[in-house]
A and B are shown apart, each in its own frame.
Chain A
Amino acid sequence: MKTPITLKINGEEHSFEVEPRTLLVHLIREQANMTGTHIGCDTSSCGACTLLIDGKSAKSCTILAVQANGKEITTVEGLATAEGVHPIQEGFKENHGLHCGFCTPGMMLRAIELLEKNPDPTEEEIRWGISGNLCRCTGYNNIVKAIQYAGAKMRGDELPSTEPVFVE
Chain B
Amino acid sequence: MIQCKTSKEIGGMGHSMKRKEDDRFVHGKGNYVDDVKLPGMLYMDIVRSPYAYAKIKNIDASAALEIPGVVAVVTGKDLEQYNLHWMPTLMSDTQMVLPTDTVMYQSQEVAAVIATEKYIARDGREAVKVEYEPMKALVDPYKALDEDAPLLRPDKEDQKDNHIWHWEAGQKEETDKIFENAEVTVKEQMHIPRIHVSSIETCGCVADYNKVDNHLTMYMTTQAPHAIRTVIALVAGHVGLTEEKIRVIAPDIGGGFGGKVPVYPGYVIAIAVSFLVGKPVKWIEDRSENLQADSFARDYHITAEMAGTKDGKILATRMKVLADHGYTDASANPSKFPTGMFSIGTGSYDYPNAFMEADAVYTNKPPGGVAYRCSFRVTEAVHAIERITDRYALEIDKDPAQVRMDNFIKKEQFPYQSPTGWEYDSGDYHAGLELAMRTVDYDGLRKEQAEKRKKGELMGIGLSTFTEIVGAGPSKDFDILGIKMFDSAEIRVHPTGKAIARFGTKSQGQGHETTYAQIIAEELGIPAKDIQVEEGDTDTAPYGLGTYASRSTPTAGAAAAMAARKLRDKAKKIAAYLLEVSEDDLEWEPGKFFVKGAPEKSKTIQEIVFASYTNHPQGMEAGFEATHYYDPPNLTFPSGAYICIVDIDTDTFEIKVRRFVAIDDAGHIINPMVAQGQVHGGLTQGIAPAMYEELIYDEDGNILNGTLMDYLVPTAVESPSWETGHTVTPSPHHPIGAKGIGESPTVGAPPAIANAIVDALKPYGITHLDIPITPYKIFKALKEKGVLDKPIAE
Contacts and interface: CB of A to CB of B under 8 A. Distances in A.
Contact of B661 (A76, A99, A163, A167): A167
B722 A76 contact: no
Contact of B26 (A48, A108, A132): A108
Given A48-B200, A100-B253, A40 B439 contact: no
Interface in B635-692: 661, 663, 672-674, 676-685
Given A26-B118, A99-B677, A85 B685 contact: no
Given A131-B715, A135-B200, A164-B673, A141 B721 contact: yes
Contact of A98 (B22, B661, B723): B22
Contact of A19 (B25, B119, B707): B119
Interface stretch (B88-96, B97-105, B224-232, B504-512): B504-512
Interface in B521-547: none
Interface in A31-48: 33-43, 45-46, 48
A70 interface: no
B255 A128 contact: no
A89 B27 contact: yes
B265 to A, nearest CB: 19
Nearest to A167: B725
Interface string A78-120: 0110000100010011101011111111001000000000000
A139 B16 contact: no
Contact of B19 (A37, A96, A140, A168): A96
Contacts of B717: 127-128, 131
B607 interface: no
Interface in B697-748: 707-709, 713, 715-717, 719, 721-726
B201 A123 contact: no
A104 B287 contact: no
Contact of B21 (A101, A123, A134): A101
Interface stretch (B30-38, B423-431, B752-760, B778-786): B30-38
A132 B716 CA distance: 9
A29 B284 CA distance: 14
A89 B18 CA distance: 13
B220 to A, nearest CB: 15
A139 B34 contact: no
Interface residues of B, number: 70
Contacts of B726: 166
Contacts of B680: 138-142
Contacts of A133: 715-716
B217 interface: no
Interface in A140-168: 140-144, 163-164, 166-168
A53 to B, nearest CB: 17
Contact of B713 (A19, A76, A123, A134): A134
Contacts of B713: 134, 136
Nearest to B440: A167
A77 interface: yes
Contacts of B510: 99
B29 A36 contact: yes
B75 interface: no
A131 B119 contact: no
A92 B26 contact: yes
Given A45-B707, A100-B201, A139-B680, A89 B26 contact: yes
Contacts of A46: 200, 287, 708
Contacts of A34: 28
28 contacts: A30-B118, A35-B28, A35-B34, A36-B28, A37-B28, A38-B32, A38-B201, A42-B286, A45-B708, A46-B200, A48-B200, A76-B28, A93-B22, A96-B673, A98-B26, A99-B678, A99-B681, A100-B200, A101-B22, A130-B715, A134-B715, A135-B716, A136-B199, A138-B680, A139-B683, A140-B684, A164-B673, A166-B725
